[in-house]
């Protein structure tokens, strides 16, 4: 235990916060953060700029950013950045709660729940099997985290309070989501009728006008002949 009035690192109790050694460690950590932050900024830039660059025929950027987008559907090319954010949040859990295993479990479960929810909503992977496997692995990790709770050592009063508030927040969020879905269903049924079209909110995007889509397809059909269509089709991967 550190002396009264001092704070120390959990793994290095002899290093007190604010002293010279701690300052050197913090400076080194800040310098090392430049690499992951730069990498993440590059990924964000590629995800933001790739559609425009490809539309202008700048294929060089496709070769450079292929690692970020090739595993995902065309309409979810940006999912690589979501994976990076999830990885960053999971790696930051020990920093956010360095001395409380129960709170770490709550944070990990919340991150995994949000991740699997967004993954099921967007289904970003090209292969349908990968979407199923990704969701299944998230569920397995959540179950493992919950099963590990009884094996924790005796929790302090602060840990019990934090753990309780974390569970309360998860329950409130769950019931709030269920209530929101119920309200959306009720509003959609009142507005469109029980046998009306599907409300756009259920698809997470607005529905394109069929007339606009047909005009685009007719324009493409005029510009392409059978041979060019066959060549373009052969260049596509199986999932395209």
Distance CA 10, CA 178 (A): 40
Can you say whether the dihedral through the CA atoms of 81, 82, 83, 85 is positive or negative? Answer: positive
pLDDT for the residue numbered 86 = 94
- Of the candidate ranges 74-78, 163-167, 228-232, the one whose mean pLDDT is the lowest: 228-232
pLDDT for the residue numbered 201 = 60
pLDDT for the residue numbered 205 = 56
Mean of the per-residue pLDDT values of the chain: 79
93, burial (CB in 10 Å: exposed 0-12, middle 13-18, buried 19+): middle
**Has residue 14 got a pLDDT over 80?**
no
Choose the most confident range, by mean pLDDT, from 11-15, 54-58, 118-122: 118-122
Instruction: Please indicate, yes or no, whether the overall pTM of this predicted structure exceeds 0.85.
Output: no
pLDDT for the residue numbered 3 = 61
Please check whether residue 142 is in contact with residue 113, taking contact to mean a CB–CB distance below 8 angstroms: yes
Q: Which residue has the higher pLDDT, 145 or 1?
A: 145
pLDDT for the residue numbered 95 = 82
Distance CA 74, CA 153 (A): 47
pLDDT for the residue numbered 197 = 64
**Has residue 110 got a pLDDT over 70?**
yes
pLDDT for the residue numbered 216 = 74
pLDDT for the residue numbered 173 = 84
> How many degrees, rounded to 5, is the angle at CA 122 between CA 88 and CA 171?
65
**Has residue 219 got a pLDDT over 90?**
no
Rg, the chain, Cα only? 25
SS3 (DSSP) at 125: strand
Instruction: State the average pLDDT over residues 211-232.
Output: 70
pLDDT for the residue numbered 111 = 93
**Has residue 207 got a pLDDT over 70?**
no
| pLDDT band with cut points at 50, 70 and 90 for residue 133 | very high
Q: Which residue has the higher pLDDT, 21 or 173?
A: 173
**Has residue 214 got a pLDDT over 70?**
yes
């Amino acid at each position: 235990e550190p002396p009264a009035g001092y704070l120390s690192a959990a793994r290095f109790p002899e290093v007190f916060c604010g002293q010279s050694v701690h300052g050197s460690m913090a400076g080194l950590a800040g310098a090392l953060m430049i690499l992951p932050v730069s990498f993440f900024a590059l990924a964000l830039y590629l995800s933001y700029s790739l559609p425009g660059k490809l539309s202008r025929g700048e294929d060089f950027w496709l070769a450079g950013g292929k690692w970020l987008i090739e595993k995902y559907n065309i309409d979810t090319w940006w999912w690589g950045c979501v994976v990076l954010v999830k990885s960053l949040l999971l790696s930051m859990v020990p920093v956010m709660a360095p001395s409380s295993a129960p709170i770490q479990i709550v944070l990990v479960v919340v991150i995994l729940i949000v991740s699997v929810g967004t993954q099921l909503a967007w289904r970003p992977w090209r292969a349908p099997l990968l979407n199923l496997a990704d969701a299944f692995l998230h569920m397995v990790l959540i179950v493992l985290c919950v099963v590990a709770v009884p094996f924790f050592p005796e929790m302090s009063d602060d840990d019990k309070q934090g753990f309780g508030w974390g569970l309360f927040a998860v329950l409130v969020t769950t019931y709030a989501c269920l209530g929101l879905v119920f309200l959306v269903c009720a509003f959609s049924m009142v507005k469109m009728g029980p046998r009306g079209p599907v409300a756009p909110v259920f698809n997470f995007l607005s529905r394109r006008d069929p007339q606009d889509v047909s005009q685009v397809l007719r324009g493409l059909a005029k510009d392409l002949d059978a041979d060019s269509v066959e060549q373009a089709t052969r260049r596509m991967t199986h999932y395209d």
